[in-house]
Structure 1
Amino acid sequence: MLVQEIMKTEVITLPQNATIANALQLLQDHRIRHIPIVNDNNEVIGIVSDRDVRDASPSVLLKNDSIEQNELENEIKMIMTTPVITIHPLDFVEEIARVFYDKEIACLPVVNKNKLVGIVTEKDMLYTLIQLTGITVQSSVIEVKVPDVPGIIPEVAAIFGKRKVNIASVLVYPFKDDPNYKILVFRIQTMNPLPFIQDLRNAGYKLMWPNNIPEPKV
């Protein structure tokens, strides 16, 4: 999946000479948490978060209206973060998730040919990853321990195919610290996984989940 498929294209922006009061108003009106700061060519030169604005605003303990007004009239360039980490519309979502994690950020502007074209937030990313797991469809989960060899995924998937069930998603993760094995997580569109569980056992595969269903007595 590409960034262009999940990014928001209607982006609220401000110029660097806008005031903190302007930013505060936009954050409240649009219920957003980040505002990219752009120049006249729509190039991203900074970014401001709701926390930046909150930290720059006068304390509620101060009762002096003139102080509060003066603080809020400061230009946004005084508090914006720069340079800004940006991404491209053709970047892969899975790789961008790593950027969010590694950089501990909550928002990434999307830039094409140096122009701002969209924005992706951590909430957008989390929702996308939830969709990729297939959890949004009615389904059952089966986890299978398999040897880490080429062709193992279609081999196991063929067992589900014999019963004509749709596979909503397939995830792969390592088996503890053993590089010789991995775990395949199949989400299949049925509420009765028992026949598939037995098929996998008959084929010699070890189930990690569900692993509390006893085999039928012969």
Structure 2
Amino acid sequence: MLIEEMMKTDVHTLNRDDTIEDALIMLSNHHIRHIPIVDENHHVIGIVSDRDVRDASPSVFHKDETVDELKNNLGSIMTTQVITVHPLDFVEEVATIFYEHEIACVPVTSNEKLVGIITEKDLLYTLIQLTGTNVQSSQIEVKVPNRPGMLPGVVSIVGKRKVNISSILIYPYKPDNHFKVIVFRVQTMNPNPIIEDLRKSEYDVLWPKAPGMSL
């Protein structure tokens, strides 16, 4: 899936000369956590988070403190080293950026101009869609040798039952790297016939476990 398929395009922005108070109002009114800061050409020059605004706001424990701090411009608190992504980047690649840089939001730019925004919540929702857990389905995990041609064999067995596959994931089998685990979700609440077919074909079904097997 490409970023352009999941990004929000209705992005609330401010400029560096707007105030902390402006950001506080925008965050509250639109229930957002990040505001890209753009210049007159709509180029991203910074980003401000709700935490930045909170840290720069007067403390509620100092009643006599003036609210002048709220009149400071956003250029004084914004993060200027902003990581951006492109609409044609893959979701998986952007998820890696989130993880490696420990960030919660990235602006999306094209031709250096802001065209969208992606948050960690957007990524989580996309993961739910990609794994098929947002539709009624059953999960089956099959352990197979780590060699070419194993996936078509498993899929063909499912296909014989005329059941739709919502998603397929493959990950390493940690106890032994000579194997991998194929995880697929099928659109049926009774996966037993498929599981029986897999076992008859001598596939090692890890989940659901057979009766009497320990967890």
What range describes the TM-score normalised by the shorter chain of this pair?
A: over 0.9
Taking the aligned partners of 1:53 and 1:213, their CA distance within structure 2 comes to: 56
- Counterpart of 2:44 in structure 1 is 44
SS in 2 for 1:183: strand
SS in 1 for 2:210: coil
Preserved CA contact (<8 Å) 1:140 1:192: yes
**Aligned mate of 1:148, from 146, 149, 156:** 146
Taking the aligned partners of 2:32 and 2:18, their CA distance within structure 1 comes to: 17
Where does structure 1 differ by over 2 angstroms across 4 or more consecutive aligned residues? Answer: 212-215
- How far is 1:178 from its partner? 2.2
SS in 2 for 1:68: coil
TM-score, normalising length from structure 1? 0.95
**Unaligned residue ranges in structure 2 (runs of 5+):** none
- Counterpart of 1:73 in structure 2 is 71
Taking the aligned partners of 1:178 and 1:91, their CA distance within structure 2 comes to: 33
Taking the aligned partners of 2:211 and 2:132, their CA distance within structure 1 comes to: 23
Q: Quick one: which amino acid aligns to residue 124 of structure 1?
A: D
Taking the aligned partners of 1:183 and 1:23, their CA distance within structure 2 comes to: 47
Taking the aligned partners of 1:169 and 1:160, their CA distance within structure 2 comes to: 12
**Aligned mate of 1:90, from 59, 65, 88:** 88
Taking the aligned partners of 1:131 and 1:12, their CA distance within structure 2 comes to: 26
SS in 2 for 1:179: coil
- Counterpart of 2:58 in structure 1 is 58
**Unaligned residue ranges in structure 1 (runs of 5+):** none
TM-score, normalising length from structure 2? 0.97
- Counterpart of 1:128 in structure 2 is 126
Counterparts in 2 of 1:1-218, with a 5 A limit?
1-64=1-64, 67-213=65-211
Q: Quick one: which amino acid aligns to residue 50 of structure 1?
A: D
Preserved CA contact (<8 Å) 1:145 1:205: yes
- How far is 1:180 from its partner? 1.1
Q: Quick one: which amino acid aligns to residue 44 of structure 1?
A: V
- How far is 1:213 from its partner? 3.1
Taking the aligned partners of 1:55 and 1:46, their CA distance within structure 2 comes to: 17
Preserved CA contact (<8 Å) 1:57 1:68: no
173-182 vs 41-50, which moves further: 173-182
- How far is 1:177 from its partner? 4.6
SS in 1 for 2:67: helix
Preserved CA contact (<8 Å) 1:144 1:185: yes
SS in 1 for 2:211: coil
- How far is 1:87 from its partner? 0.3
Taking the aligned partners of 2:208 and 2:178, their CA distance within structure 1 comes to: 22
Q: What is the root-mean-square deviation of aligned Cα atoms in Å?
A: 1.2
SS in 1 for 2:60: coil
Residues 30-74 of structure 1: per-residue CA shift (max 9 Å, x gap): 11000000000000000000000000001101112xx43210000
Alignment CA distance shift 1:68-1:32 (3 Å): farther
Q: Quick one: which amino acid aligns to residue 25 of structure 2?
A: Q
Residues 128-161 of structure 1: per-residue CA shift (max 9 Å, x gap): 0011000011111110000111121111100000
How many positions carry a matched residue from both structures?
213
Taking the aligned partners of 2:152 and 2:182, their CA distance within structure 1 comes to: 11
Identity %: 62
